[in-house]
Chains A and B, each alone.
Chain A
Amino acid sequence: MKKGTLKQILLITDGCSNKGEDPSATAALAQQQGITVNVIGILEDDQTEDPEGLQEVEDIAQSGGGVSQLVYKQALSQTVQTVTKQAMTQTIQGFVNQELKQILGPSQSMEDLEPEKRGEIMEVVEDMGETCDLEVLVLVDTSASMHDKLPTVKEALIDLSVSLNARIGRNRFSIYSFPGKRKDIQKVLDWSPKLDSISSIFPKLTSGGITPTGPAIREAMYQFGKKSLLRSFRDEDEPDVEEAWY
C-alpha cells in the first residue's frame, strides 16, 4: 500500500504584497492542487499583535486551507513547528472527516461524535501524521524590511528540520526566496531531506524592494512534482533500480 504525501507551502513574510495577482487567489489555486498554504507573519518588536497591514496573512492561509500565525521574531522557531504540525493534523483530519461523512452521512463530522469515539479517531489521525511523507516548500520574503530577520528565519528552519526528522515518515524540504533577481522566486535550496546545509547559503540572500507574494505562491506551486523531487524520493526507495536497467 502506498502511503500519502502531504504537500505544504510555508510562507514567511513581514508585510503586504504589492505586485502581481492577489495572493489569496493563488493560494486557493494551490489548495485545489492538494497543496496547503501556511503563512507566518513576523511582527516588528514595536508592533501590536493585530496590525491592519497583516490581515493578508490570515486571508492567504484561509484560502490556502492552512494555518496562519503572527509572531515576534523571538518566538519564530516554535511557531514554525506548531504551524507546520497543526496544518498536517488539519489536512489529515480533513481527509478523515470526508471518510466519516461517507460512512455516517453528510451531516456528521468529528465534533458530532461522542468524546470516546473521537479519541479513537484522533489516534488514527496521529498515526497518519507520524508516518506520512511530507514535502515542505519554504517561501521566504526577502524584501528590504526582512533583512535583519533572516538570521532568525534560518535558525527556525534548521530547528524545524530537527523536529520533523524525528518523525517516522520521510521529509523533503526546499527553500525559495522572493522576489528573485529576474524571476518571481529564486531557488535557495533544492529538495533535500535535511536543512543543515543552509547555513552557508542564507547570508548571501539579497533584499529587494518589491513584494510579489501572489506570483511567488504560483511559482512555488509548480516546484512540487518537479523531477528533482521525484528523483530524491525514488533514490531512497529503490537505490539499485537504475543499475538494474543497464
Chain B
Amino acid sequence: MKMNQTWKKHGIDLRPGTKVKGKWHQKSYKIQKKLGQGAVGTVYLCKYNGREAALKISEQSTSMTVEVNVLKSLDKVQGKRLGPYLLDVDDWVSPTGKIFSFYVMEYLKGQPVTTFIQQNGNEWTGVFILQLLEDLERLHKSGWVFGDLKTDNLLVISSPTRIRWIDVGGTTQIGRAIKEYTEFFDRGYWKMGTRKAEPSYDLFALVMIILNVYYPNRFERGANPEATLQKRLNDVKSLKVYRHALQKALQGKYQTASEMKHDITQALYRAQHRKNKQLTTSKQTRKQKHRYLFLIESGGIAIIALLYYAFSLLLP
C-alpha cells in the first residue's frame, strides 16, 4: 500500500514555450505565461490550435480529480454558465519522467473586483451583489454550495460587465463539510456559525467580499468578532443603503439567496426613490423652511403668553 507520500507545496515551474502533451487524449498545449498559483496547482495561459486557454497543472492527482468532478457537475447546472468551461482533462509525463495531472478550461480575461469598483464607482457594488446572488441562487438550487467564495476567486469581465467565478475548487454538496475555505471569508473563523455547506455559508462570505472591497488590507478578528464585523460594516458610508441586508446575512438570518436578493433590490429601489424625491422637492423645501420658522416663532410666543397667564392666575 503506497500511502506515505508526504504533502508539500512544491509547485512546478513551466517555462514559456514548453509543450504539454496529454498522455490519454494526445492533445498538445503550448505554455505562454504563468497566471497564478493556488494551494493545489499552478495555472498557466496556454495555446491550443491558436486559441487561448487556461491550463491548471499539479502533481496532486487526487485534489485535481476532485476539482474536475466539481467543474463537470457545474456544467450540468441549467441556464447560464457558473464556472469556467472545461475543455480537457489529462496527465502529462514530464521529460524527467514525473507524472502531472492537468485540466484545460476557458480563459477568462478581466479585472479584480476591488480595482473595478475603485475605478468605476460605488454604484457597481449593488450590481455585483445582485449578480452574485443570482448565480448563488442557481447553484444552491442544484444542490451545491460554493464554499471558498473570496475576492481572489472572482473576476469582472467586460461587454457586458459581469462578475464571474474563476476557481470553483471549493464547491461542496449541500449538507457536507465545507471542503476549502479562506479564514477571512469563513464564518467559522469569525465564530458566526458552523462549517456545514448550506446557502447561508455562501451569503456570509459574500458580505465579506464586499467588506474586502472597502478594506483591501482586510482586518483582524479582535476579542469580539461579531462586534468587529458590525463596526467595520457601519463605518463604510457607501454601504449604508444595503447595511441592513448585509448585517442579516452576516448573522445567518437568510435561508436562501433569493430572500437576500429581495431585500437588496428593495433597498436599492428605496434609495433611488429617496434620491428622486430629494431632487424634485429641493426647491419647495426652502419655502417650507420659512413657513416652519414662522410657525415655531408664533407658537413659541403663544406658549410663553399662556404660561404667563397661568402664573398670574396662581398669584393671589
A interface list, Cβ under 8 A from B: 58, 61-63, 65-69, 77-78, 82-83, 86, 89-91, 93-94, 97-98, 109-111, 114-116, 118-119, 122-123, 125-126, 130, 159, 162-168
- Known contacts A77-B183, A91-B3, A167-B176; A115 and B90 CB within 8 A of each other: yes
**Cα distance, A109 to B1, chains bound together (Å):** 10
CB–CB A162/B4 < 8 A: no
CB nearest neighbor in A for B188:
A162
CB-defined contacts of B196 to chain A, threshold 8 Å: 166
CB–CB A122/B4 < 8 A: no
CB-defined contacts of B189 to chain A, threshold 8 Å: 159
Which of B8, B61, B194 contacts A165 (CB under 8 A)?
A: B194
CB-defined contacts of B178 to chain A, threshold 8 Å: 163, 166
CB–CB A97/B195 < 8 A: no
**Cα distance, A65 to B4, chains bound together (Å):** 5
Q: Which of B63-71, B77-85, B126-134, B162-170 contacts A (4 or more CB under 8 A)?
A: B63-71
Question: Within the complex, what minimum Cβ distance (angstroms) separates A162 from chain B?
Answer: 5
Determine whether B24 belongs to the interface, using a CB cutoff of 8 Å to chain A.
Answer: yes
CB-defined contacts of B62 to chain A, threshold 8 Å: 89, 93, 110, 122, 125
Question: Within the complex, what minimum Cβ distance (angstroms) separates B204 from chain A?
Answer: 14
CB–CB B65/A122 < 8 A: yes
**Cα distance, A147 to B314, chains bound together (Å):** 80
Question: Among the interface residues B4, B61, B91, B183, which one has the most CB atoms of the partner chain A within 10 A?
Answer: B4
**Cα distance, A157 to B182, chains bound together (Å):** 17
B interface list, Cβ under 8 A from A: 1-8, 24, 61-62, 65-66, 68-69, 72, 89-91, 99, 101, 175-178, 183, 188-189, 194-197
**Cα distance, A5 to B167, chains bound together (Å):** 33
Which of A68, A119, A168 contacts B68 (CB under 8 A)?
A: A119
- Known contacts A94-B1, A162-B195; A167 and B69 CB within 8 A of each other: no
Q: Please report whether the interface of chain A is mostly helix, strand, loop or mixed according to DSSP.
A: helix
**Cα distance, A139 to B109, chains bound together (Å):** 48
**Cα distance, A127 to B7, chains bound together (Å):** 22
**Cα distance, A58 to B177, chains bound together (Å):** 28
**Cα distance, A126 to B189, chains bound together (Å):** 24
CB nearest neighbor in A for B176:
A130
